[in-house]
Amino acid sequence: MSKRVFVGNLPFSTTEEQLRKLFSQHGEVTSVEIIKDKFTERSRGFAFVEMATDEGARAAINALNQFELDGRQLTVNEARSRTERPARGNR
């Protein structure tokens, strides 16, 4: 079963290919998604990496949490499931 991993404090210059290479050292990577600002298309500094197995995800989290990438220490942990947020509206 695949496991989704949160990656925070990313350098804004990081590419999805760089993350795929970094995480694939610890297991099979199913997908990589760097979250971008919807107006500027610039990275928001975090991403989600989906690993093929729980073991690969655990290995990546253990090896890459606090790993320094381009001068920034990454925050890597298991992604929490998305919660429903109330719709925004005028009050």
List the CATH number of the domain containing 43: 3.30.70.330
Number of domains present in the structure of the chain: 1
Q: Tell me, yes or no, whether 67 lies in a domain.
A: yes
| H or E, element range at 47 | strand 43-51
For the entire predicted model, the pTM comes to 0.86
55-90 as b/e: b if 16+ CB within 10 A: ebbbbbbeebeeeebeeeebebeeeeeeeeeeeeee
Q: Identify which has the larger pLDDT, 82 or 38.
A: 38
Reported confidence tier of residue 23, pLDDT bands at 50, 70, 90: very high
Q: Decide if pLDDT at 1 tops 60.
A: yes
Q: Tell me, yes or no, whether 37 lies in a domain.
A: yes
Residue numbers of the domain that contains 21: 3-78
Contact 65, 76 (CB under 8 A): yes
pLDDT (mean) for 24-39: 97
Q: Tell me, yes or no, whether 89 lies in a domain.
A: no
- The Cβ-side half-sphere exposure at 8, using a 13 Å CA radius, reads 6
Q: What is the pLDDT of residue 77?
A: 97
Q: What is the pLDDT of residue 65?
A: 98
Q: Decide if pLDDT at 56 tops 90.
A: yes
Q: Tell me, yes or no, whether 73 lies in a domain.
A: yes
